[in-house]
Chains A and B, each alone.
Chain A
Amino acid sequence: MAAKLRTRNHKVVFARSAGGDAGITIMLVLLGAFMFLPMVYVVMQSLKPLDELWMYPPRFFVSSPTLGNFASLFSLMNISWVPFSRYIFNTVFTSVMGTFGHLFIASLAAYTLAKIKFPGGKAMFKTIQTSLMFNSTVTGITSFIILSAFGWLDTYLAIIVPAWGSTLGLYLMKQFMDTNVPDTVLESSRLDGAGELRTYWIIAMPMVKPAWLTLIVYSFQGLWNAGASAYIHSEQLKSLNYAIGQITAGGIKRAGASAAAQVVMMLVPIMVFVFSQSNIVETMGSSGMKD
């Protein structure tokens, strides 16, 4: 016997207690404060004039905000040994090349693994999925040997090419194609005489735009946040993140500029996420591991 059906205005009433709602709200506010206040503090520090940065007792909020720290960050950039625009170029160039190469070859492989049945395909995906279980710290040192064997150490290739083979992007793309590209559509395209490559590019790819965007965002974030790399020792090939780190390593005199630098560096990935959030969450809908 079904328990009594509770409806109001023809809608099912879910079991929610006011106490539970209140408890959840309180938890959420506390956790939210823990997550959000340090981020606010970075912004506050970046806006504080010198006398407020070294005020005792320190205050959390800024009372007379100034952009002076950002100005001094940019003047510090101008006196760097390698022109600062070079660091910016390095990071933008490796991020763009790494991301687009990854998007292209990973989506091609994801399509093949998701939608074509061929001997060995399952085993390949299984191997790739297993590699999500360890990270690049495990492979870092031997990758160094491989890069040096190719003569790629201290070139852009040492940053760009390994990024093409990252795992998470392929995994998410393949899972998304599994659920969002119906086999029947592909079948009719093949019957119309389109080759496999054409079907991939004209039919499948436009159907998985959220997954593209997710893959781009993930790859870009990784490359953007990359600091000093063990594979790069020439100063003029180093990343923006490394250069910013050098500025902030200048000790307590640069506390303001350092906070300003952190704000600049975090603004880019946050803006990227704000614009891509709904697509990323949609992609994550099929991220689950079935076995």
Chain B
Amino acid sequence: MSNKTAEKKAVSRKDMTMMQWTWKEMKKNWLAYLMVAPYLIIFSLFTIVPVLLSAILSFTNFNMLEWPDIVWLDNYITLFFDDDIFLTACTNTFIFACIVGPASYLLSFLVAWFINELPPKIRAIVTLIFYAPSISGQVYLIWGTLFSADSYGWVNATLLELGLIDKEIAFFKDANYVMPLCIVVSLWTSLGTAFLSFIAGLQGVDRALYEAGAVDGVKNRWQELYYITLPSMRPQLMFGAVMAITGSFGFGGIVTALCGFPSVDYAAHTIVHHLEDYGGQRYEVGYSSAIAVILFAIMVGANALVKKILSKVGV
């Protein structure tokens, strides 16, 4: 009995000291809090608060003018059961992300790997060639010129010349072509941050490991890639995956620029478009917040999934 109380006392005293210790540490490090404060305040204001606010507003019918009423799950129910365009947008977003995400990831890695053994000067130039489209603003509009609907468009003219078609194709106004073309264009702009991270990661692999591998009988570059390179750059692979996922689910700007809004028959309508349509054009903030929450959940969920897969790579 007395033993038990003693134990209880000991536990609670331990808790106290833990809290006291934390408090002491906090007081000792007051300057650290002051130093992170400016960034953390701005970050919270424009990242954390907006996410929380979206979550709250998604249960209301807020329209920016009147005080919001709580409508509970109505927005979500409408989205999934009454809004066919939203379901189209979901399908398109998933098709898009499942193609462009992995493809841009693989492309970034393969190109970085291909150029890894080039002399530094040449590697720098090739890096620029592959990286340039991702930083050049709206330069992707050139694809609109190349695939222009009239015979002055280079692609149409060439196809006519070769006799493959008898009439120009309005590529960006034809539901059959819109999606594949937008996928190609966005792949073209997708060798960005992840690509640079892979280049740096490959450069950073310890040369001694390769030499040891060569001695230990690594037969070809594929074995070297699998047994040495990939395991040593897992952190970069993880970072690159996050960049690729965020980029591929956040896709929409290229479609609007090339196909107009809405795209023909909603053939390339994505969740981002739906969100901007209700939030930015119609001011149905409650409804668009529900869309934002779903997009948020999809992005974070996809990241968690891919993280799990990547932790098993090349062990």
Enumerate chain A interface residues (CB-CB to B < 8 A): 2-3, 5-6, 12-17, 20, 24, 27-28, 31-32, 34-36, 38-39, 41-42, 45, 53-58, 60, 105-106, 108-109, 111-113, 116-121, 124, 127-128, 130-135, 137-146, 161-162, 164-165, 167-168, 170, 195-197, 200, 221, 224-225, 227, 230, 241, 245, 248, 255, 258-259, 262, 265-266, 269-270, 273-274, 277-278, 280-285, 287-290
Contact = CB atoms under 8 A, between A and B. Distances in A.
A195 to B, nearest CB: 8
Given A41-B142, A142-B49, A241-B137, A12 B199 contact: no
A16 to B, nearest CB: 6
B138 A108 contact: no
Interface residues of B, number: 107
Contacts, number: 313
A263 B24 CA distance: 58
A287 B54 contact: no
A11 B35 CA distance: 50
Main secondary structure of the interface of A (DSSP, over half): helix
B123 to A, nearest CB: 9
Contacts of B201: 284-285, 287-288
Interface stretch (B5-13, B72-80, B151-159, B171-179): B151-159
Nearest to B127: A277
Contacts of B276: 137, 140
Contacts of A262: 136-139, 141-142
B295 A138 contact: yes
Contact of A138 (B26, B161, B242, B292): B292
Contacts of B50: 138-143, 146
B137 A265 contact: yes
Contacts of A15: 214, 218-221, 223-224
B32 interface: yes
B35 A108 contact: yes
A3 B33 CA distance: 56
A14 B211 CA distance: 7
B107 interface: yes
26 contacts: A2-B215, A16-B220, A20-B220, A24-B114, A35-B129, A55-B152, A56-B157, A57-B157, A57-B161, A108-B39, A109-B38, A112-B35, A117-B29, A118-B25, A118-B32, A132-B246, A134-B51, A134-B296, A145-B285, A167-B47, A195-B31, A225-B135, A266-B132, A269-B136, A284-B236, A288-B239
B136 A270 contact: yes
